[in-house]
């Protein structure tokens, strides 16, 4: 199975679609991944979350309210409830009835579309290890053989530690959004090959520190072409964006 192969040391494409391409379709839905493919995107990022029934769904928030017709904590939901929800009409009437996909369903669509992926483990509070264990097990058992191995990322050290243990040959990336003071110790302890960092934290000096340490640097969420061009000049490998078509030719 592809997920047993080493994915370390790769160079990713410059452009990665954020939650599919959430500037054009409801985030973390199959419609968003299909739109990414239509736009020529080769890699997408999305969020993996554990629900009460033990299933892993592709979903960002800790509650259902913002992006579905439901309400309440995602962690308390079972699959039958999740399947009954409309996850599209909040974005646009043309997406009415779009479902919340499971991770397994998403991987099947990625295989059909030839899309590689950065899977962010996005646990509900207090469910870091359980979410990571379930996500890694699904990737281990179901990742499509025709796709490159994924990148697994998280803001939570416990999640990355589980991935290190369960999928040691799959590339791990540490997500950073507000603190660049202790990243070296965390990257080393968790054997990460990359950092995915909020763009406002980047400077040419910070970029040099990352490169001297030997990690790949990718940044989120960038929708401005001039900013992307500057960061690429500094040596950024990839951006995660809602609007990948804005960056043609960079």
pLDDT at position 8 = 58
Half-sphere exposure of 104 (CA within 13 A, CB side): 11
pLDDT at position 10 = 81
pLDDT tens digit string along 5-52?
A: 345 568 999 999 999 999 999 999 999 999 999 999 999 999 999 999
pLDDT at position 96 = 98
> Does the pLDDT at position 2 exceed 80?
no
Place of tokens 């047993």: 4
Range 205-239 burial, b when 16+ CB lie within 10 A, else e = ebbeebeeeebbbbbbbbbeeeebeebbebebbbb
The continuous run of DSSP H or E covering 21 comes out as none
Residue-by-residue DSSP string for 100-121? PPBHHHHHHHHHHHT-EEEEEE
Residue-by-residue DSSP string for 127-152? -HHHHHHHHHHHHHHH--TTSPPPEE
- State the pairing for strand pair 151-154/116-121: parallel
Domain ranges (residues) in the chain: 13-245
pLDDT at position 166 = 97
| CATH code at 13-245 | 3.20.20.190
Half-sphere exposure of 241 (CA within 13 A, CB side): 22
pTM here is 0.96
C-alpha distances in Å from residue 242, one per residue of 3, 57, 84, 108, 235: 27, 20, 27, 22, 21
pLDDT at position 4 = 39
pLDDT at position 6 = 42
pLDDT tens digit string along 181-217?
A: 899 999 999 999 999 999 999 999 999 999 999 999 9
pLDDT tens digit string along 103-145?
A: 999 999 999 999 999 999 999 999 999 999 999 999 999 999 9
Q: What is the dihedral of CA 189, 195, 198, 199, to 10 degrees?
A: 140
pLDDT at position 181 = 86
Chain centroid to Cα 151, Å, comes to 8
Active site residues: 18, 60
pLDDT at position 1 = 33
> Does the pLDDT at position 3 exceed 80?
no
């Amino acid at each position: 199975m592809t997920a047993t192969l080493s994915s370390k040391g790769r160079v990713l494409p410059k452009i990665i679609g954020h939650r599919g391409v959430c500037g054009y379709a409801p985030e973390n839905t199959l419609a968003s991944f299909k739109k990414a493919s239509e736009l020529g995107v080769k890699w997408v990022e999305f969020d993996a979350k554990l629900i009460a029934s033990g299933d892993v769904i592709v979903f960002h928030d800790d509650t259902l309210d913002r992006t579905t017709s439901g309400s309440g904590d995602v962690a308390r939901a079972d699959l039958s409830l999740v399947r009954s929800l409309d996850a599209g009409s909040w974005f646009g009437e043309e997406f009415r009835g779009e479902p919340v996909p499971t991770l397994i369903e998403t991987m099947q669509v990625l295989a059909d579309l030839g899309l590689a992926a950065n899977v962010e483990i996005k646990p509900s509070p207090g469910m870091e290890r359980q979410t990571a264990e379930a996500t890694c097990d699904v990737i281990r058992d179901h990742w499509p053989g025709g796709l490159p191995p994924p990148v697994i990322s998280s803001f939570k050290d416990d999640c990355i530690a589980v991935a290190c243990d369960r999928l040691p040959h799959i590339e791990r990336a540490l997500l950073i959004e507000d603190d660049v003071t202790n990243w070296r110790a965390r990257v080393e302890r968790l054997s990460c090959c990359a950092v995915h960092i909020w763009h406002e934290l980047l400077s040419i000096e910070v970029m040099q520190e990352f490169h001297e340490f030997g990690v790949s640097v990718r940044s989120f969420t960038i929708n401005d072409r001039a900013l992307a061009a500057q960061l690429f000049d500094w040596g950024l490998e990839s951006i995660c964006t809602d609007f990948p078509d804005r960056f043609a030719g960079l």
